[in-house]
């Protein structure tokens, strides 16, 4: 978890007021509560729209790949959104290595066991840690790779950090330093950067950043109200 401390916790603890990124709330209990919010709250439309797009376009997404031997999901949680994609890839190729990347060890390992029960032919290799470490791990694996990052966590990345984040996805660059943090008794530590959460991106804005990071848009799908976009991007190898 050293990369976590250096690349994510440290900037927040050095700021004023202090904060930690929102994904550190996703321990086992936090993950279970989030699942309840996304599945049971009638006002939480994002999950339903996302699932609808995946159900409608799974085959089209998979058709863009000649082969997928490594399938990784950032912020996997219980990986419920991945079921149709996993099923489609297994049907097409017969085997698949799935790497759910999440910060909650207990939760992601429990979810991995459930996936194996649903898909006996699936090779599930959960990775416990932050996205940076997970991407370094994925980069080290052999074979063609598909990376999925779904959900609202994407919106919680501050704008100034978006390009470096996309470059990390593209190149799996890792940084490491040392620092002492002074905390006052009773000092409040915020969840995520104050005033910079839930950024709403226009696709053209995001696509411009992605292009700068070496990612090219292959195809996009939207819901009927054009409020949510599901995008397929490939690394620019030129």
**Total number of domains in the chain:** 1
CA nearest to 210, candidates 229, 192, 191: 229
pLDDT over 80 (residue 207) = yes
Between residues 84 and 158, the one the model is more confident about: 84
| CATH code of residue 124 | 3.40.50.150
Give me the chain's average pLDDT, please: 80
* Site of tokens 């976590």: 4
Average pLDDT over residues 226-231: 87
Strands (E), the chain: 18-20, 70-74, 96-102, 122-124, 127-128, 145-148, 189-191, 215-222, 229-235
Structural contact between residues 199 and 157, judged by C-beta atoms closer than 8 angstroms: yes
- Over its C-alpha atoms, the chain yields an Rg (Å, rounded) of 18
Report the range of poorest mean pLDDT among 98-102, 131-135, 227-231: 131-135
Q: Over the stretch 165-186, which tens digit does the pLDDT of each residue have?
A: 788 777 653 333 756 778 888 8
- In this prediction, residue 193 has a pLDDT band, given cuts at 50, 70 and 90, of low
Q: Over the stretch 115-156, which tens digit does the pLDDT of each residue have?
A: 999 999 999 999 998 877 888 888 888 777 888 888 666 776
Average pLDDT over residues 191-210: 76
Domain with 81 in it: 2-235
Average pLDDT over residues 1-27: 71
- In this prediction, residue 2 has a pLDDT band, given cuts at 50, 70 and 90, of very low
Helix axis angle for 45-63 and 28-40, nearest 10°, is 90
Q: Indicate the burial class of 199 (C-beta count within 10 angstroms; 0-12, 13-18, 19 or more).
A: middle
How far apart CA 185 and CA 7 sit, in angstroms, is: 25
Average pLDDT over residues 14-34: 75
Q: Which helix (H) or strand (E) holds 13?
A: helix 10-13
Structural contact between residues 79 and 107, judged by C-beta atoms closer than 8 angstroms: no
Beta bridge partners of 235: 215
* Predicted local confidence at residue 118, as pLDDT: 93
Average pLDDT over residues 33-55: 78
How far apart CA 207 and CA 151 sit, in angstroms, is: 18
Distances (CA, A) of 178 to 17, 20, 63, 161, 183: 21, 17, 45, 21, 16
- In this prediction, residue 11 has a pLDDT band, given cuts at 50, 70 and 90, of confident
């Amino acid at each position: 978890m050293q990369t976590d401390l250096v690349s994510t916790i440290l900037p927040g603890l050095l700021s004023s007021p202090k904060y930690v990124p929102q994904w550190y709330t996703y321990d086992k209990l936090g993950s279970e509560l989030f699942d309840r919010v996304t599945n049971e709250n009638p006002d939480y439309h994002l999950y339903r729209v996302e699932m609808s797009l995946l159900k409608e376009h799974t085959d089209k997404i998979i058709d863009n790949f000649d082969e997928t031997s490594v399938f990784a999901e950032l912020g996997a949680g219980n990986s419920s959104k991945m079921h149709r994609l996993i099923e489609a890839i297994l049907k097409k190729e017969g085997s698949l290595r799935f790497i759910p990347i999440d910060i909650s060890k207990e939760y992601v390992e429990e979810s991995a066991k459930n996936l194996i029960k649903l898909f006996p032919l699936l090779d599930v290799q959960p990775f416990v840690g932050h996205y940076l470490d997970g991407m370094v791990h994925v980069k080290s694996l052999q074979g063609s790779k598909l990376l999925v990052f779904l959900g609202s966590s994407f919106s919680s990345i501050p704008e100034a950090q978006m390009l470096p984040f996309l470059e990390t996805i593209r190149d799996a660059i890792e940084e490491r330093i040392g620092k002492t943090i002074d905390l006052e008794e009773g000092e409040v530590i915020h969840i995520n950067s104050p005033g910079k959460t839930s950024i709403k991106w226009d696709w053209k804005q995001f696509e411009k950043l992605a292009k700068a990071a070496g990612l090219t848009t292959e195809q996009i799908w939207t819901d009927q109200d054009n409020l949510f976009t599901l995008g397929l991007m490939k690394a620019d190898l030129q």
